[in-house]
Amino acid sequence: MLRITSATLYTCSQRVRLLLPPSASTSTEISPSKRVENQRTVDSLYELSVDIRKVRKFRGWVLSESSAYVSETADLLRDMGADTTAIAHILETHPEAILCRPEDVATQRDLWLSVCPSKRQLMNIIEKFPASFFTLTHHGNQRANILYLQNLRLSKRIISKLMASAPQSFSQPVERNQEVIHTLREIYLDLGGEDSNLRVWLQKLLSQNPYILLRPAEAWRDSLGFLREKGFTTEELLSLVSSLRASIAELKPEDMQRAMDYIEAALCCSKEELKQVVIRCPAILYYSLATLLGRFQGLMDAGVTMEQVKESPNVLELTTQIVLYRIQKLASYGYDIRSGSLDVIVGTKKDFEASYGKLQLRQQRPLFNPVAPLKSAEE
């Protein structure tokens, strides 16, 4: 009886096993969704003191690639002056670097060294922008764009900053960058700028906003054409372009129109007064309506008047929380913002601390009476 039962159980178990899916098998097969890690890659990274858990968490797929150049990448970085800590940091931040072929990395290094004074300076850039350096695409475009910008007599510092912050602008065909630069030159000269100062002006724009070259030339023409129709003079337009750090090319005419319509209605100002508000606070052109509404309402709730905002429109650059904090800070020293100027609270934190310090010093310093008798130290 026992022999029959055992045979029956064995037969049933075999049938059940045939019905089970492969993933339920007791074999050591790995699910396709979970790739096997390249143990050699893991060991090599571990020897370099790289945090494997961090790589596995954010870029786990890198560890599964069959081809990796861990030691070669580390040697190239070491040759540029990187120490053990820097190498580990770079490979943790951008582990995709180990997938780049050594010859491609060497070519990239030579390209970047053409605008970097030394390997040490290049290494400083790589530590901050590893993804930009290890984006090894379109070496021909990169070389052509570097040569073009050098021919414009732009400084190496500006070019290297552009390569680090906006590498896409160097991967695109040089003709696109030439078109944007040509448009900027036309705008600058059309707005009254002098050709002799063009290089300095262009370097300042590129330094302030490295993404300029990624904006289509048409965007510049549309934005400036809109503001010109609003009555801004050439001198005012040039000031706006410089103040907005070239982000004016990111603004759409319809968005600027909505912002200006709101400010005009909220401050009950004329067209000319609106122009002066925009000139003194260009940032309102790219704030959303929700942001402008929230900040203006916060000022009204704090007891600020429309006339005060009109006189010091830069206050709209501050968040409501910062405005309230500064008003309370000044109130503790007897300064009533409702009866004074808003200029004392606008500006950076450093600007405010300077204004606040003057008020504090004024309160603590006793008034000097020139006719009062002097007291000796003994008295």
CB 342 within 8 A of CB 308: yes
Give the Cα separation of 27 and 199 in Å (integer): 69
Please choose, from the candidates 167, 58, 44, 139, the residue with its C-alpha nearest in 3D space to the C-alpha of residue 98: 44
Dihedral angle computed from the Cα positions of residues 293, 295, 296 and 301, in that order, rounded to the nearest 10 degrees: 120
Please choose, from the candidates 330, 231, 308, 331, the residue with its C-alpha nearest in 3D space to the C-alpha of residue 275: 231
| 307 Cβ contact list (under 8 Å, min separation 6) | none
**Secondary element (H or E) of residue 293:** helix 289-301
Give the Cα separation of 199 and 221 in Å (integer): 20
| pLDDT reported for residue 362 | 55
| 339 Cβ contact list (under 8 Å, min separation 6) | none
Structure tokens at 330: 């000044």
Give the Cα separation of 225 and 33 in Å (integer): 53
pTM of the model: 0.72
CB 63 within 8 A of CB 37: yes
In three-state secondary structure terms, 241 is: helix
CB 246 within 8 A of CB 208: yes
With a cut of 70, list the residues of the chain below it in pLDDT. 1-34, 245-246, 359-379
CB 100 within 8 A of CB 134: yes
| pLDDT reported for residue 20 | 36
Give the Cα separation of 121 and 127 in Å (integer): 10
| pLDDT reported for residue 246 | 63
| pLDDT reported for residue 374 | 42
Q: State the chain's mean pLDDT as an integer.
A: 84
Give the Cα separation of 35 and 54 in Å (integer): 17
Q: For residue 349, how many other CB atoms are within 10 A of its CB?
A: 9
Give the Cα separation of 99 and 69 in Å (integer): 6
| pLDDT reported for residue 177 | 94
Structure tokens at 28: 């050591």
